[in-house]
Amino acid sequence: MFKIKEPTLYMIELSKVLLSASQEIYLLMKRLRKFKNANDLVGHCRTIRKYEHEGDTIYRNAIAELFEINTNAVEIIKLKDIYENLENSIDTCQDTADIVEDIALKYG
């Protein structure tokens, strides 16, 4: 859609964090069906929270660098939108983990 020829280092890093957080969500959902101990689920939720913080750091660095080195307004808008979408996806993983953690603490 944006015709980006090659992903930036920040796109790759955010994508890796999103993949890790998504894999952790998968494990969390598998364990949710049979959970007996809230600590098992809470551990996964904390791991996802770490990924979310890592994603925030990468996102802030990407945005800071974007405005420092890029003078093409269209390019800035494109990259900023991609960075925001990746970061929002990681935030959604955190939102999911928060919900599961609430369930685990309430019923575990």
**Residue 3 within a domain:** no
Specify the pTM.
0.91
User: Residue 3: left if φ>0, alpha if ψ -120 to 50, beta else—which one?
Assistant: left
Contact 93, 51 (CB under 8 A): yes
Is residue 67 within 8 Å of residue 80, measured between CB atoms? no
Q: What is the CATH number of the domain that holds 35?
A: 1.20.58.220
Mean of the per-residue pLDDT values for the chain? 92
pLDDT of 55 higher than 90: yes
Kindly state whether residue 4 falls inside one of the protein's structural domains. no
- 101 in Cβ contact with 45 (< 8 Å): yes
Residue 61 has a pLDDT of 97
CB neighbours (10 Å) of residue 84? 13
- Which of the 8 DSSP states describes residue 56? H
Number of domains in the chain: 1
**Structure confidence at residue 17 (pLDDT):** 98
Domain limits for position 37: 9-107
pLDDT over 80 (residue 75):
yes
> Residue 1 domain-assigned?
no
Q: Kindly state the average pLDDT of the residues 75-86.
A: 94
Helix (H) or strand (E) holding 34: none
Distance CA 41, CA 49 (A): 13
Burial state string for 52-74 with b = 16 or more CB within 10 A and e = fewer than 16: bebbeebbeebbeebeeeeeeee
pLDDT, residue 10, reads: 97
Q: Is the residue at 24 inside a domain? A: yes
